[in-house]
Amino acid sequence: MSSKEKKSVTILTESQLSSRAFKDEAYEFYKELRKSQPLYPLSLGALGKGWLISRYDDAIHLLKNEKLKKNYENVFTAKEKRPALLKNEETLTKHMLNSDPPDHNRLRTLVQKAFTHRMILQLEDKIQHIADSLLDKVQPNKFMNLVDDYAFPLPIIVISEMLGIPLEDRQKFRVWSQAIIDFSDAPERLQENDHLLGEFVEYLESLVRKKRREPAGDLISALIQAESEGTQLSTEELYSMIMLLIVAGHETTVNLITNMTYALMCHGDQFEKLRQQPDLMNSAIEEALRFHSPVELTTIRWTAEPFILHGQEIKRKDVIIISLASANRDEKIFPTADIFDIERKNNRHIAFGHGNHFCLGAQLARLEAKIAMSTLLRRCPNIQLKGEKEQMKWKGNFLMRALEELPLSF
């Protein structure tokens, strides 16, 4: 979207937000929004009218604002309820990311024990083994596509083992995940995504039947058996929770590893600094999370009660979408916000969200990224981008900031 086009646009659509062209120029667009239009109108098709939030302070406020709901049933009456866009929507949307207290607390309690500090640290040796095994396969070739060969398989193997899912199915998860995070309401995309989600539901049904017959010491077996506050998961909640753990359990980390590597390749001085001072790895990961936030836009929040923001009335049923990527480049919070600085101090980014819906797997993602990046730099110290950085393409995707591929030689 050119500067001239930006000035003439009064309402952004879902398809524009999801486009590759938007991703290429998003940071400059966000910068203009933060200055002059921090509340920007959106047209979201069947979802109705929405607003895009770009400033950090607004994001912090709205991410914990009780007037905003994740479950649209807490906003819409039965008569107002919108028809499902996808046949399998109900089966896959009853998870904690789409819920409000007290349901959110009940659902989060069922899985949070698997993501405690102690449990995550127990995975360290396993993650290290996976990282080394993946690099063993590509190192003789002196080349790899970081996304396919390293950033994707590492977290999907970890979450698959935690859940008790056969590793041979992991490529299917990649296709299904993309269908789930694709917000497009274009008829042909809806039909394709509905078909893919139908496949996913069939897979989950078969998997759950097997786990009921043969429970093991994995997270899916625990969810099947779990009770919280005296209430078992419903079938829809069970399928939705498994889906969420599969998708969220790898999608953010894939982008974190890839985007961090890309940022280092584009900023040679920072790459060299990190090679010379590996103790800066934790700080470098936090800066990567801020600079190229893996989750660019939040999932939908519905307005349950009207309120005023920047002189504009936000009406009941309006959709709020927060740009985490923009908030993390807010100049009022982050001095030299557009500079990638692995020694940045007081890095208060919100790449993992804020409030009740702060990412449950944030600590796991950080550990996976630390091991993945430390191992990559140690074993491939001369790694470099194969091709020009301008040739790298961001995916056209609503929620995520993700590269299609990242070819590297070493």
From CA 228, how far away is CA 105, in angstroms rounded? 10
Provide the pLDDT for residue 184: 63
Q: Helix, strand, or coil here: 352? A: coil
What domain range is 317 assigned to? 3-409
Residue in this structure with the two tokens 């509905």, named with its chain if needed: 194
Q: How many domains does the chain have?
A: 1
The DSSP-derived string for 312-351 is EEE-TT-EEEEBHHHHTT-TTTSTTTTS--TT-SS----T
From CA 330, how far away is CA 322, in angstroms rounded? 13
- Mean pLDDT of the 381-410 span: 93
pLDDT tens-place string over residues 9-53 = 478 998 899 899 999 999 999 999 999 999 999 998 888 899 999
Asked if 73 and 58 count as a contact pair (C-beta separation under 8 A), the reply is no
Asked if 159 and 138 count as a contact pair (C-beta separation under 8 A), the reply is no
Q: What is the CATH number of the domain that holds 26?
A: 1.10.630.10
- Mean pLDDT of the 352-374 span: 97
To the question of pTM greater than 0.85 for the whole model, the response is yes
Gyration radius (Cα) of the chain, Å: 21
pLDDT tens-place string over residues 392-405 = 999 988 999 999 99
Q: Chain centroid to CA 41: how far?
A: 23
- Mean pLDDT of the 153-161 span: 95
For the ranges 26-30, 86-90, 353-357, 371-375, the lowest mean pLDDT is seen at 86-90
Provide the pLDDT for residue 167: 82
Query: Which amino acid is residue 133, in one-letter code?
Result: S
More confident residue, 248 or 39: 39
Q: Which two tokens stand for residue 64?
A: 């914990």
**CA-wise closest residue to 152 among 136, 131, 122:** 131
- Mean pLDDT of the 290-302 span: 97
Tell me how far apart the terminal alpha carbons of the chain are, to the nearest angstrom. Answer: 35
Provide the pLDDT for residue 6: 42
Q: Helix, strand, or coil here: 307? A: strand
For the ranges 223-227, 295-299, 339-343, 394-398, the lowest mean pLDDT is seen at 223-227
Q: Helix, strand, or coil here: 263? A: helix
Q: Which two tokens stand for residue 352?
A: 């993992």
Residue 122 has pLDDT above 90, yes or no: yes
DSSP assignment, residue 360? T
Asked if 334 and 290 count as a contact pair (C-beta separation under 8 A), the reply is yes
